[in-house]
Amino acid sequence: MKLSTATASYIAHMQSMGMRFCTEASNLKSLCRALGDVTLEEIRPDHIEVYLTGKGPITATWERKYSTLKGFYRFAVARGYINCVPLPPSVPRPPRTFVPYIYTRQELRHLLDAIGPNDNPRRGIDPDTYRTLLLLLYGAALRISEALALTMADVDICAGVVHVRDTKFYKTRLVPIGTDLIRILNCHV
């Protein structure tokens, strides 16, 4: 079976199950362009390795491409298109690029001071609300989507807890908050 036919079949299958599958489809089409319209049996592990590596160091893109190919080959083997999977036996870890950063008190003060001058009557949120939101994000370590989704019922001032619902990966959690943040939130409850 030709690579282009097998990838088109896999993309159609995944999209028929309700998945958007846009990035994955783009990766598979890129594979077809890189290797040409060869049969699945002609593809060797070194071909796949060259496609995955691309130009430059290992990145998160490598992992996404690998994951897409892993799913594609699982699909191809299950349907009897091929017997041998030409994926590299070992998966390198990309270098860690994200370095967490904790603001100093002075930097946080500069952020809070910058809120006042941005008072624009066309904006729907007043400076006090911006200030409270920033302190809530920092003091409770919330994601912006979590903070914006909070309701009055989610904040328990007496217990000093914020109930964050349906957060990333659809989890719910209780976040303890300190007395300074309780005092600030108490002005909005």
Domains present along the chain, CATH in parentheses = 3-78 (1.10.150), 105-186 (1.10.443.10)
Residue 171 confidence class, pLDDT cut points 50, 70, 90 = confident
Residue 174 confidence class, pLDDT cut points 50, 70, 90 = very high
Q: How far is the CA of 166 from the CAs of 106, 154, 172, in angstroms?
A: 33, 12, 5
Higher pLDDT: 86 or 99? It is 86
The residue from 33, 64, 109, 143 that is catalytic is: 143
Cβ neighbour number for residue 151 with a 10 Å cutoff: 8
Regarding pTM above 0.85, the answer is: no
29 is catalytic: no
168 is catalytic: yes
Cβ neighbour number for residue 59 with a 10 Å cutoff: 14
Cβ neighbour number for residue 78 with a 10 Å cutoff: 8
Minimum mean pLDDT range among 36-40, 47-51, 75-79, 123-127? 123-127
The residue from 20, 55, 105, 168 that is catalytic is: 168
Q: Where are the extended beta strands (E) located within 41-160?
A: 155-156
Residue 177 confidence class, pLDDT cut points 50, 70, 90 = very high
